[in-house]
Amino acid sequence: MSIIEINNFSQNFGDKLLFEDTSFVLNPHEKIGLTGVNGAGKSTLLKIIMGEVLLDKGTFYKNPKYKVEYLDQHAEVKGDQTIKEYLCGAYKQLFDAEKKLNQVNEQLGIETNEAKLEKLLNQSGDLFEYLTANNFYAIDSEIEKICAGLGISAFGLQTKVKTLSGGQRAKVMLAKLLLESPDVMVLDEPTNFLDVNHIEWLTKFINSSDRAFIIVSHDTHFLNDVVTHICDVDNNKINKYVGNYDKCMETKEVKRIQHEKNYEQQQREIKKMEDYIARNKARAATAGMAHSREKMLSKLDIITPPSEQIKPTFSFKSKDFAGNLVLKVKNLVVGYNGNPLLKPISFEVENKDRLAITGFNGIGKSTLLKTIIGEIEKISGECVISKNIVVGYYEQENDFHYFEGTPLNYISNMYPKLTEKEVRTALNKCGLNAMHCKKQIKQLSGGEQSKIKICSLILKPCNLLILDEPTNHLDVFAINRLEEAIKEFNGTVIFVSHSKPFVKTVATKTIDLEKLS
């Protein structure tokens, strides 16, 4: 019996059609990778599954026997909880049962009535059995195991959740979901804030779990390692394939080629029929045949045209730099409020280098980048950018929550001398069409918002690009183009990325911050 079924459904988002007469099914133990280009409708489908969005058309069924939980990286954590207290919330029912057990045991100490005493003893035994059966007394070790696997232990479990960065908070939310262990885990870009070691740990966790998973990720290597099926959103349809990402994409490509052939053949047949009808409809001798073909044409099941994906074509504008040394870092100590995150670090970056900075999440990679550009004050040491260096900076998080305008407004505000046509052209090069340009940025997907940030970079001539997790949220087409654009860039690049394939493809040098600690 299936866990979730959405049958023959259609769905719009504003004036955009996302799904048309398509279906989605999740069965027990399936690990489904949900794929598709930015803006295809993946996030909307997740909201339908979680009951946050009602269907425009179709039927929705969720088996009441199964508990479904969703990792929402953008949810706010309210209150003044420590990481440990927040994670203990995954076991609320068990802690409530323990509280009840303590109350019953207190009553046992003062109760004298034999009948009531026996009832309390039975109640106490049932509660203790319930707690033992659900491993209540191993909660601390379970929390420690998950926190170690995801790199949360490094933050300190007594740290207040509200003081964490967006990436750290996302990891803590993921940890809580894994601890809750619902029947179905819905994970939206779970690897975005994880480094290589923690992605490997999560991969092993998912592979060893008998739960069902729905995973949205643009990390195709991660999907290859964990999924049993792919549900690919394309051309308003959901196509389900058996196997990992690579196998499914091979099958999809074969289907795409066959679909194109069928479409082109049918279009040729339709044109022949239309030409025949136009030539013969007015002639008495052939009017009957023309009318017959006209009826055939009206009953023809028209094949939909092949979908055309907007593939980014952007490139970075380079500014000349005559020297060789771009950046010199000597005994640099970075951190916050005088508290160091790293041991003193020294390195040099030369012209045309592509330097990757790696290390586990929370070690200080983003802090180092922000110190280099002067956004955060250094604690001590030297950090000197050569004269005539112009920096283009890509920040990790999409902070558009409070911006009320459209992509057109945003880029125009940054570059007021550009005409509207020039701004639209730049956005289009990054994979954003006229419809995207009209929407408020906060209505766009995470990948579409990332493309706006890339657009703001490609319009600025520079000779040093500093990129903090630039592949987060981007679809495969955009990541491939980003790799090519960095290789083509006639300047220097310093970047942070958790994507091992991206680092391998792009970097000419690597600094592993873990080797400093």
**Is residue 69 scored above 80 in pLDDT?**
yes
Residues sharing a CB contact under 8 Å with residue 242, sequence separation 6 or more, in sequence order: 228, 229, 248
Between vectors from CA 37 to CA 35 and to CA 42, what angle results, nearest 5°? Answer: 55
The whole model's pTM is what?
Answer: 0.75
Quote the pLDDT of residue 372: 95
Quote the pLDDT of residue 283: 76
Q: Which range among 103-112, 214-223, 308-317 has the greatest average pLDDT?
A: 214-223
**Is residue 241 scored above 60 in pLDDT?**
yes
Query: What is the CB-side half-sphere exposure of residue 79 using CA atoms within 13 A?
Result: 7
174 touches 128 (CB < 8 A): no
75 band by pLDDT with thresholds 50, 70 and 90:
low
What tens digit of pLDDT does each residue of 426-481 get?
Answer: 999 999 988 888 888 988 888 899 999 999 999 999 999 999 999 988 888 899 99
517 band by pLDDT with thresholds 50, 70 and 90:
low
Quote the pLDDT of residue 298: 85
What tens digit of pLDDT does each residue of 269-316 get?
Answer: 899 888 888 888 777 777 788 888 888 888 888 888 877 667 899 999
68's tokens: 């479904």
Residues sharing a CB contact under 8 Å with residue 508, sequence separation 6 or more, in sequence order: 353, 354, 355
Quote the pLDDT of residue 308: 66
**CATH class name, domain 1-67+182-307:** alpha beta
Q: How far apart are CA 176 and CA 88, in angstroms?
A: 8
What tens digit of pLDDT does each residue of 222-240 get?
Answer: 999 999 999 999 889 999 9
Cα dihedral 485/487/493/498 (nearest 10) = 80
Quote the pLDDT of residue 482: 96
Quote the pLDDT of residue 37: 84
Q: How far apart are CA 371 and CA 381, in angstroms?
A: 11
325-515 homologous superfamily: P-loop containing nucleotide triphosphate hydrolases (3.40.50.300)
Phi–psi pair at 189, nearest 5 degrees: 50, 60
Domain 1-67+182-307 matches domain 325-515 at the CATH topology level: yes
The domain ranges of the chain are 1-67+182-307, 82-164, 325-515
- What mean pLDDT comes out for the span 487-501? 93
Q: Which pairs with CB-CB distance under 8 Å and at least 24 residues apart come from 341-345?
A: 341/367, 342/368, 342/513, 342/516, 342/517, 343/516, 343/517, 344/380, 344/381, 345/381, 345/511, 345/513, 345/516
**Is residue 495 scored above 80 in pLDDT?**
yes
The helix, strand and coil proportions of the chain, stated in percent and rounded to the nearest 5, come to: 45, 20, 35
Q: Considering the chain, what is the average pLDDT of its residues? A: 90
Quote the DSSP letter at residue 401: T
Q: How far apart are CA 269 and CA 287, in angstroms?
A: 19
Q: How far apart are CA 68 and CA 178, in angstroms?
A: 12
β-strands 345-350, 339-340: how paired?
Answer: unpaired
